[in-house]
Chain A
């Protein structure tokens, strides 16, 4: 079945540091890939997405590139801010399994001033 694996957190960084959160996937179909962010006490918000190989999703300084050869969709940001502190979820969606979203376990990011 489909699955998503993320690096375990928490990830603790100083402000302006470079961020990478690793995400790899297994899918029987040809998935679309997503990063969602969840701020404390809130629901999930779509951060970015990519729908085919070599696509790069980007938003608010975050980027992720769909790498079919390594089945990865790593999230990066060049300079994090305290306001980026949140939990980040990698997810995929295929035409299988009723089009459901499959989530990774989430990675908590803590950015210190």
Chain B
């Protein structure tokens, strides 16, 4: 059974039109992450939630926002997508500790900007 579910798998949006990607989890993990991945490069962490505490990476553009209304759901909002934002977006979850626990990833949402 899928434990981290991302919807949709594929999203096409227009240049400058706000778009929201969603992620849900059944693992009851307290940490949720959003990564951006381009062309099979290493995933780049955008931000993460530790419970309700939001942690933004220093180089994440202001264009990217996130919401976590409850433990199970987390959303990535791109306010004004540019062509450079076309990428695979990966959601992941983990327990905060111990450090030997792995992160569980969803299947990703591939975003195309036209």
Chain A contacts to B: CB under 8 angstroms: 29, 31-32, 34, 36, 38, 41-46, 49, 51, 87, 89, 93-95, 98-101, 103-106, 108
Contacts and interface: CB of A to CB of B under 8 A. Distances in A.
Interface of B: 4, 6, 31, 40-43, 45, 48, 50, 55, 90, 92, 94, 96-97, 99-100, 102-108, 110
B94 to A, nearest CB: 8
Contacts of B105: 36, 43-45
A44 B100 contact: no
Q: Which 5 A-B pairs have the closest CB atoms?
A: A51-B100, A43-B105, A103-B42, A32-B100, A44-B105
Given A42-B107, A108-B40, A99 B100 contact: no
B42 A105 contact: yes
A34 B99 CA distance: 11
A94 B99 contact: yes
Contacts of A103: 42-43
Contacts of A105: 41-42
A105 B40 CA distance: 9
A58 to B, nearest CB: 15
Contacts of B99: 29, 31-32, 51, 93-95, 99
